[in-house]
Amino acid sequence: MSDATLAPQMAPERKTKIPLLLGVLLALALGGGGFFAAWSGMLPGIGAQAPATAGPDPLPDIGFVAMEPIIVALGPAAGGRFLKFTAQLEVARPHMSEVNLLMPRIVDVLNGYLRAISVSEIEDPGAMARLRAQMLRRVQIVTGEGRVRDLLVNEFILN
């Protein structure tokens, strides 16, 4: 083959950047238009046009029942260590007297659960959420459905 036949094949084709530039400009325009539509309140439920008379939602009808501190020996494997636990129960206000009546049973269930957990479970960084959920579920079983909404941990001290 001669040099004349190779030359046309080796010349690189020049690609234009116009489609890329148009795509970027179109994306910016659509993004800016969407932002403006949301910010100006053109989209219902989104943006700056909130009702002027709207205030905070009323608080639910709840009360708090304080629990006496529970101090638990963690067993022989813990080396004589103790756990001090104090909490409050978030209760529907009409059921506060019923939950107070069941408090000895609640303390008994939590005492048994806290004695059964190991020190390694307590020292785990994600343990508090897991332990709290387990204790809340046990309290809800004792008190019945709908009475206790949440368990708020005040003290959880491993000594």
Tally the C-alpha atoms within 13 A of residue 119's C-alpha that lie toward its C-beta: 13
pLDDT tens for each residue of the chain, 159 residues long: 555 555 556 656 677 888 888 899 999 999 988 888 887 877 776 655 555 567 898 888 999 999 999 999 887 777 788 999 999 999 999 999 999 999 999 999 999 999 988 888 888 888 899 999 999 999 999 999 889 999 999 999 988
What is the DSSP secondary structure assignment for residue 55, as one 8-state letter?
-
CA distance 149 to 87: 13
β-bridge partners, 70? 85
**Domain limits of the chain?**
15-55, 62-158
Residue closest to 86 by CA, chosen among 156, 140, 158:
156
Q: If residue 73 lies in a helix (H) or strand (E), which one and from where to where?
A: strand 70-73
Query: What CATH number labels 62-158?
Result: 3.30.479.30
